[in-house]
């Protein structure tokens, strides 16, 4: 990467959340001469900046590029451990970061399960998901 293509990464509203075992902050990325900066690149920069041993505990999301370009703002989380990340992060974000795999089912299966669940009440809805064929 040449000097003209570098991005400046700044954090603000930094907060240590002991309850959720993480550090949370807003990320400002200034990227002149570039349309945007990859999250993987930002992950490595932030991991180096905050001396994180495992970059997979860094989660970045919600980035929006300012009108006119040149600056993006998003949200960042750094978990104390991978175990804490898997415990508190939503499943879709774990899938995005490659820590879990997405379960693939067909649209028809999902619809049939939903319609079977409509016919029962309460805790029996969970049992309907397994199917009886």
Q: Is 90 exposed, middle or buried (0-12, 13-18, 19+ CB in 10 A)?
A: exposed
Q: What pLDDT does residue 125 have?
A: 80
Q: What letter does residue 55 receive in the DSSP assignment? A: G
For 29, other C-beta atoms within 10 Å of its C-beta total: 22
Residues of the chain with pLDDT under 50: 1-2
Q: Within 10 Å of residue 77's Cβ, how many Cβ atoms?
A: 19
């Amino acid at each position: 990467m040449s000097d003209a293509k570098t991005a400046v990464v700044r954090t603000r509203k930094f907060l240590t959340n002991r309850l959720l075992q993480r550090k949370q902050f807003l990320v400002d990325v200034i990227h002149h001469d570039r349309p945007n900066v990859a999250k993987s690149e930002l992950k490595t920069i932030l991991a180096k900046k905050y001396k994180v041993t495992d970059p997979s505990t860094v989660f970045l999301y919600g980035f929006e590029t300012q009108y006119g370009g040149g600056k993006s703002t998003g949200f960042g989380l750094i978990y104390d451990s991978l175990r804490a990340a898997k415990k508190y992060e939503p499943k879709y974000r774990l899938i995005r970061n490659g820590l879990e795999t997405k379960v693939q089912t067909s649209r028809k299966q999902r619809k049939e399960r939903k319609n079977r669940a409509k016919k029962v009440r309460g805790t029996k809805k969970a049992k309907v998901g397994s199917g009886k064929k």
